[in-house]
Structures are given as structure tokens and as C-alpha cells.
Amino acid sequence: MSSWTAKWSFANGQQITQIWGGTLSASGSAVTVTNASWNGSLAPGASATFGFLASWTGANTAPTPTCA
């Protein structure tokens, strides 16, 4: 694999404030994280992880994954 993407939608206005291990793109509630320059190329059976901090007001509902 030469690159990866994770997509989801936040339900209650949550916003990512910090991210590591990936590159963030967000538009409204839709969030897309793509690989960083150093973890995009993965051998069969390998994995990559990323993490983030987010903020919210009110309910902190779990995000809804979006299939690409």
C-alpha cells in the first residue's frame, strides 16, 4: 500500500485541535485523515496509527465512520 485514508463525520460540532501521525482535512462535520509523509508506504500485514485531540461543546457523540 502506498497511502491510506480514514474518513468520518462528527455529529455534534466536535473539532480536532491537534493531530499526529497523519494529515488533517476537515470541512464542516466531515473529517479526512491521510498518511503522513513517513507512514504512507505499508507492507502487507503492516499497520499505521494516528491520534488526535478534539474539543466540543455539549454532547460528545461518537463519530460516524465514512466508507471511501
Per-residue pLDDT tens for 33-51?
999 999 999 999 999 999 9
d(CA 9, CA 45): 27
Does residue 62 lie within any of the structural domains?
A: no
Burial class (CB in 10 A: 0-12, 13-18, 19+), 63: middle
* pLDDT tens-digit readout, 9-20: 998 989 999 999
Per the structure, the count of domains in the chain is: 1
Does residue 39 lie within any of the structural domains?
A: yes
Domain that holds residue 32: 5-56
The mean pLDDT of 47-58, rounded to a whole number, is 94
Does residue 66 lie within any of the structural domains?
A: no
**Residue 33: predicted pLDDT:** 97
- 67 pLDDT tier (thresholds 50, 70, 90): confident
Residues in the chain, total = 68
